[in-house]
Structure 1
Amino acid sequence: MSLILLPRRSAFRLLLGGVALAFLVAAALVAAGFAVVSAGARGPAPDFSSRPLRVGVGWLPPPDTPDMRLYVEEGFELDLAAALASALAAELRLVLVAPEAAEQALKAGEVDLVVTRAGAEDPLRRRARVVETGFSSGLSLAMRADRPLTAWSRLQGRIVCVTEANAHGLALAVRLGAQVRVLRAPAQALMLVRTGECDAALHDRALLDPLFGRMSWRKFSATLPPVEPTDLVVAVAPDDPGLAAAVEGALRPLSSPQTWQARREKWAATVSFEVYRDQVAADCH
C-alpha cells in the first residue's frame, strides 16, 4: 500500500479543478454542522486537528515536476478527497487502495474513508457505511464518426486508449481483447482518437456526453451504449458513524443533478481545451 502526503503544489492542483466543490463543502459544513451534531447519537464528530485525513483512492497523481502539464483527471475522486479534507479542516493524505481492498483498508484502520466506484451489487455496500455522491455512469467510447465500431465485441484486436486512473475501463478493454494503450490523462487519450493513433478512447459516458455536444467533437462523437454502470461513493468503516454522518452532511449540498451537470460540463470544456492545446503544440513541432 502506498501513500502520499500532498505537497503544496499538488494540493493546489487538486483543489483548482474543484474550486466550486471545495467552496460549497466548506460553506455547507457551517450549515451542515447541525447535521453532524444531530448525528451525535450515532457517534462522535471526527476531529482531525492533530492528524491528517487519510483518504483511500484507486490512483495517485504523479509527482510534481517543473515541466509537468496540468490535466483534468479521469474522474472526481481526487477532487472529492480534497474537498472533504477542506471541509473537515484536515490535512489531506492520499493512500493508494485498490478497489477490491477498500473494505480491508477500512477495517484495518489504514484509512479513514475510501472514495471509489461501486456497482449496485458491490460487496462494499454491505460491509461499509456507503455515502452516495450523486454521480453515476457506465463506460462508453469516443470514436471517429467516419469509421465507428458497431459493437463492443468489435474492440477485439483494436487499439483502445485508457487512462492510468481508469482501472475499470482498463479491465473491460482487456476482457474484450483490445490492444490497450495507457495514457496519463483523458485529454491525451482523446487526442489520439483525433489523430487516428487509437481506434477508441474509453471513458465515463456521463463525461463524454457533454463533450460530444461541442461542435469541435462532432466528427469524433461516435459511441456505443454504456455498459457496467457504477456510482461514485465514499465508504467509511461500519464502526465509525460519526465520520459517516460528517461526510454525508458535507456532501448533501453537492448531490443535486444540477451540481453534477455543471461539473460534467466543466470537465468537458477543460478536456476539450487540453486536447486543442496539446494538438497545436504537437503540430508546431
Structure 2
Amino acid sequence: MARLHRPPLFLAAIFVAAMAGALAATLLLLAPRGADAHANTQVGGTLRIGIGWLPPPETPDMRLYAEEGFDLDLAAEIARGMGVRPEFILVAPDDAAQALAAGEVDLVVARAGAGDGLRRGARIVETGFESGLSIAMRSDRPLASWADLKGRVVCASEANRHGRDLAQRLGATVKVERAPAVALMQVRTGECDAAIHDRVLLDPLFTKLSWQKFSATLPALEPTSLVVAVSPGNADLAQAVTGALKDETSPERWRQRREKWASTVSFEVYRDQVAADCH
C-alpha cells in the first residue's frame, strides 16, 4: 500500500505564518491611519460644529454683511477640507466644553483667552488668529482712556459678545447692531461715541483715506485667540482638523482675510450711509 506524502511540519508552519502576514498587511492597508482616521470615517457625512453665534437666515432689507469675526468662515473651511457637510449648532461659549463632553457636537470653533476654561476642558487646535479689543471713534474728539467710555454710547455687533461684555463692565450704554458695518456707520453719523471691534481688523480699516476722521482708538485689551476645540480624548479629530486647515492659517492668509474684511466693511458702511442719505 502506498504511503501518503505529508509535508514536513516546519513547511506547514511557514505557510500558515505567510498567510497570517498577508492578511495582516491587507487589513493594515484597508484601515484608516493616523491623522486621517477620523476624516476617512466622516467623508460624505456630517460634522457637527458648535458656534457661539449664528447669523439670521435673512435680514429685513435682504442685505448681506461681513460678520464680526472668522468663526463661521473657518468652520466651513474645516468641513470642506475634511470632505464633510457642516451642521452648525449654537453653543454658548461658556457651555462649549460641556457640549463636547456630552457628545452634542464634534468640535467647537470659538474665541478663547489664555485662562479660558475651554483650554482646560478640551483639546485645542490653534488657528493663528489673535486680537485684543479696541474701538473706533472720531479723531477730532477722541476719548483719552477706556475709563472714559462710562456713560457713553458704544455700538457693538450681535456677534461680538466679548466686546459687549467689556463695554458694559466699563459702564457704557451698549447699542447692539446687526453687523460691524452698521456699528461703524453709527460712529460716522454720531449715533454712537465709539464702536468696539478686534484691533487687528480696525488697523487695516484705519489706513483707508475715508476713515482718517474716524480712526482714533485706544490700546487693545483682553486678547483672545480663535481656536478649534475637540474633546480631550479625540486626538484623531484634532489631527484631521489641523490637516484641513494647513493652508488656511499662515500669517499671510490671515493678513489677506483682515484686508478683505476691512475693504468689505468699508464698502458696506458707504453703501448703507449713501442709502440713508438718499431717503
Which runs of no fewer than 5 residues in structure 1 stay unpaired? 1-35
Larger Rg: 2
What is the distance in 2 between the residues matched to 1:133 and 1:189? Answer: 27
Match of 1:39 among 35, 41, 45: 35
SS in 2 for 1:224: coil
Closer, same or farther in 2 for the Cα pair 1:58/1:196, shift >3 Å? Answer: same
What is the distance in 2 between the residues matched to 1:38 and 1:148? Answer: 54
What is the distance in 2 between the residues matched to 1:257 and 1:201? Answer: 26
Check conservation: 2:155, 2:183, Cα contact below 8 A: yes
What is the distance in 2 between the residues matched to 1:200 and 1:67? Answer: 25
SS in 1 for 2:236: helix
Which runs of no fewer than 5 residues in structure 2 stay unpaired? 1-31
Closer, same or farther in 2 for the Cα pair 1:191/1:44, shift >3 Å? Answer: closer
Identical amino acids, percent of aligned pairs: 66
Check conservation: 1:46, 1:246, Cα contact below 8 A: no
SS in 2 for 1:252: coil
Are 1:124 and 2:118 counterparts? yes
Match of 1:275 among 259, 266, 269: 269
Are 1:56 and 2:50 counterparts? yes
Which position in structure 2 is the counterpart of 1:237? 231
Check conservation: 1:160, 1:201, Cα contact below 8 A: yes
Match of 1:157 among 131, 151, 154: 151
SS in 1 for 2:244: helix
CA shift for structure 1 position 125 = 1.4
CA shift for structure 1 position 175 = 0.4
Structure 2 counterpart of 1:234, one-letter code: V
Which position in structure 1 is the counterpart of 2:170? 176
Are 1:81 and 2:93 counterparts? no
What is the distance in 2 between the residues matched to 1:140 and 1:65? Answer: 27
SS in 1 for 2:229: strand
Are 1:228 and 2:218 counterparts? no
Check conservation: 2:136, 2:196, Cα contact below 8 A: yes
CA shift for structure 1 position 252 = 2.3
What is the distance in 1 between the residues matched to 2:40 and 2:95? Answer: 23
CA shift for structure 1 position 88 = 1.6
Give CA deviations for 1:248-282 in whole Å, capped at 9, x if unaligned: 11112222211111110000000000000000000
Which position in structure 1 is the counterpart of 2:249? 255
Structure 2 counterpart of 1:241, one-letter code: A
Which position in structure 2 is the counterpart of 1:115? 109
Closer, same or farther in 2 for the Cα pair 1:92/1:78, shift >3 Å? Answer: same
- Moved >4 Å (runs of 4+): none
RMSD: 1.5
Check conservation: 2:77, 2:245, Cα contact below 8 A: no
SS in 2 for 1:47: helix
What is the distance in 1 between the residues matched to 2:55 and 2:47? Answer: 17
Match of 1:187 among 166, 181, 190: 181
Closer, same or farther in 2 for the Cα pair 1:220/1:44, shift >3 Å? Answer: closer
Structure 2 counterpart of 1:117, one-letter code: R
Match of 2:212 among 218, 240, 246: 218
Structure 1 counterpart of 2:245, one-letter code: L
Give CA deviations for 1:214-254 in whole Å, capped at 9, x if unaligned: 11100000000000000000001112111110001111222
Match of 1:148 among 126, 142, 146: 142
What is the distance in 2 between the residues matched to 1:105 and 1:174? Answer: 27
Give CA deviations for 1:132-164 in whole Å, capped at 9, x if unaligned: 100000000000001111100100100000000
Closer, same or farther in 2 for the Cα pair 1:38/1:240, shift >3 Å? Answer: closer
Q: How many residues are treated as equivalent by the alignment?
A: 248
Are 1:92 and 2:86 counterparts? yes
What is the distance in 2 between the residues matched to 1:254 and 1:104? Answer: 28
